[in-house]
């Protein structure tokens, strides 16, 4: 999968991913759920996103989908409250994967269990090697991230037992496909 990078720092919490005041929209209503995409990452100060003031925001204007589909984060991505809305908001905004040094456990599980985004862990710190807007290619088969802009390759930790759940589109789909539930 290919996409543009949006680079963030360490300790990006769920309130920064989707601020609490925007948790009022229905996730089941297709039109209303677009608000989650519109407000995704609206709580992240530009300095924490590694972007100077006045830089391109994650979401432009009244849009609900971002030009950036791969988020690069530092350590402890998704810390804070356990809200499932955080990975859902990123998915609605068009994010397909996050590559971070480490995750808050609940954010990681919500991402996988809901089938919202692919949460990859990088083998090394990479949010200081990639710039927002770089063109990336994520290779799930070989667990590598290629920076097509800089012609660099970064190794990722295998997804392990989470991979079949991710491929099935979430925990409930996995349980249905594997015969655990009907």
Contact status, residue 81 vs residue 107, Cβ threshold 8 Å: no
pTM score over 0.85: yes
Q: Given phi > 0 = left and psi -120 to 50 = alpha, else beta, which region is 170?
A: left
What CATH architecture does domain 2-177 belong to? Alpha-Beta Barrel (3.20)
Which tokens sit at 69?
């589909």
Do 3 and 75 contact (CB within 8 A), yes or no? no
Reading the block at residue 60, the tokens are 């432009």
Q: How far apart are CA 132 and CA 151, in angstroms?
A: 15
At residue 54, the pLDDT reads 52
pLDDT single digits (tens) 20-66: 999 999 999 999 999 999 999 988 766 666 554 556 689 988 999 99
Residue spans per domain, the chain = 2-177
Token pair 């083998």 is found at 123
- Per-residue pLDDT of 136-164, as tens digits, reads 999 999 999 999 999 999 999 999 999 99
Among 92, 104, 142, 100, residue whose Cα is nearest residue 124: 100
Give the percent of the chain with pLDDT over 90. Answer: 85
**pLDDT of the residue at 48:** 61
- The pLDDT value recorded for residue 24 is 94
Q: What is the pLDDT of residues 84-98, one digit of tens each?
A: 899 999 999 999 999
């Amino acid at each position: 999968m290919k996409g543009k990078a949006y680079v963030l720092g360490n300790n990006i919490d769920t309130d920064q991913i989707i601020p609490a005041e925007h948790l009022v929209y229905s996730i089941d209503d297709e039109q209303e759920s677009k608000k989650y995409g519109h407000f995704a990452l609206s709580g992240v100060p530009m300095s924490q996103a590694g972007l100077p003031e006045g830089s391109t925001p994650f979401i432009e204007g009244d849009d609900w989908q971002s030009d950036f589909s791969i988020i690069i984060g530092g350590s402890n991505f998704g810390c804070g409250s356990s809200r499932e809305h955080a990975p859902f908001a990123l998915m609605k905004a068009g994010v397909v994967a996050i590559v971070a040094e480490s995750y808050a456990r609940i954010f990681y599980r919500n991402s996988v269990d809901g089938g919202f985004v692919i949460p990859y862990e990088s083998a090394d710190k990479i949010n200081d090697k990639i710039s927002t807007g770089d063109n990336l290619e994520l290779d799930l088969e070989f667990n590598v991230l290629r920076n097509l802009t800089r012609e660099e390759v970064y190794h990722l930790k295998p997804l392990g037992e989470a991979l079949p759940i991710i491929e099935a589109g979430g925990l409930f789909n996995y349980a249905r496909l594997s015969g655990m539930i009907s």
